[in-house]
Amino acid sequence: MRSIKDDRTARAVIRDEALALFAAHGPDAVSVRQIATAAGVSAALVVHHFGSKEGLRDVVDRHVLETFDGMLTEMTGEGAPDLYDPAATGSLVEAVLQHLPADSPMPAYLRRMLLTDSEAGKELFAKLFAVSQGMLAALSEAGMAAPGADPAVRAAFLMANDLAVLLLRDRLTEVLGVDPLSQEGMARWASEMLAVYASGLQADPQLPEAGGAS
């Protein structure tokens, strides 16, 4: 077995390797022995720290929830994106891009959490919806959006559009030729997203504004 060469505890290394394996293959397809091998420890040490694979999965779920909780708090609390800054979308995707390294397994794990019937996934989804409602309310108060006839549905629609980039990341990369969670991909995505939100599907940011030339 290899030795742990970074400054994380053995428990943290095991958790992080489990997160990466669960994200790539799904928790059901990963064994305690595979996690132990990836972490460079014995299977007995994994059981010692977490009790079982389910116990480890619970810890991984909580770690992911706490990480995204921090991002959501930053999006809505002090230091949140300026609503009047057209470059600041205040989206979850933008938060992921800013706070997680490009090779982080968390977006892939988030996808699994949200698409399975887990309590952690339900908890995170409810928090994302609450944030979307808050953002819509703030935009409406600032005169930058209308709440619509059904504000709950409008907030859910905006959230679904945001989550689509994370949930369909691999397929979007294939058809666009760029990772939407990269700097280049996010710049392209945000430009079109903001144009459509501002002016609908007829929006064309390339066209000059009417009255600009006579």
39-53 confidence digits (pLDDT tens): 999 999 999 999 999
| pLDDT over threshold 80, residue 75 | no
Distance CA 89, CA 53 (A): 38
Residues 123-142 have a mean pLDDT of 90
Q: How far apart are CA 42 and CA 168, in angstroms?
A: 36
Count the neighbouring beta carbons within 10 Å of the beta carbon of residue 126: 10
**Binning pLDDT at 50, 70 and 90, where does residue 152 land?**
very high
Indicate if the pLDDT at residue 153 is higher than 90.
Answer: yes
| CA dist list (Å): 73 to 83, 127, 151 | 16, 10, 22
DSSP 178: S
Give yes or no for residue 102 having a pLDDT over 60.
yes
- Can you give the pLDDT at residue 71? 86
Question: What is the four-CA torsion angle of 95, 101, 102, 107, rounded to 10 degrees?
Answer: -60
pLDDT tens-digit series, residues 85-95? 544 555 778 88
Per-residue tokens: 119: 């309590």
Q: What is the pLDDT of residue 27?
A: 93
Both tokens of residue 40?
């460079």
For the beta carbon of residue 9, count every other beta carbon within 10 angstroms.
11
Confidence of residue 36 (pLDDT cuts 50, 70, 90): very high
Q: What are 65-69's contacts with CB under 8 Å, separation 24+?
A: 65/120, 65/123, 65/124, 67/106, 68/106, 68/110, 68/124, 68/127, 69/127
Question: Do you know the residue count of the chain?
Answer: 214
Q: Return the pLDDT at 77.
A: 63
- Which pLDDT belongs to residue 2? 44
Query: Quick one: average pLDDT of 92-115?
Result: 87
pLDDT band at 155 (very low <50, low <70, confident <90, very high): very high
Superfamily grouping for domain 1-51: Homeodomain-like (1.10.10.60)
Q: Tell me the Ramachandran region of residue 70: left when phi exceeds 0, alpha when psi lies from -120 to 50, beta otherwise.
A: alpha
**Pick the residue with more confidence: 65 or 199?**
65
CA dist., res. 198 & res. 89, Å (int): 12
Percent of the chain at pLDDT exceeding 90: 50
Helices 119-141, 106-115: axis angle to 10 degrees equals 100
Residue 118 has pLDDT above 80, yes or no: yes
Per residue in 180-208, is it b (16+ CB within 10 Å) or e — as a string?
Answer: bbeeebbeebbeebebeeeeeeeeeeeee
**Mean pLDDT on 92-99:** 81
Question: Which of these, 36, 18, 16, 37, lies nearest to 28 by C-alpha position?
Answer: 18
End-to-end CA distance of the chain: 75
What pTM, to 2 d.p., does this model score? 0.77
Residue 193 or residue 25, greater confidence: 25
Question: What was the pLDDT predicted at 78?
Answer: 56
- pLDDT at residue 87 in the model: 45
Q: Is residue 110 predicted with pLDDT exceeding 80?
A: yes
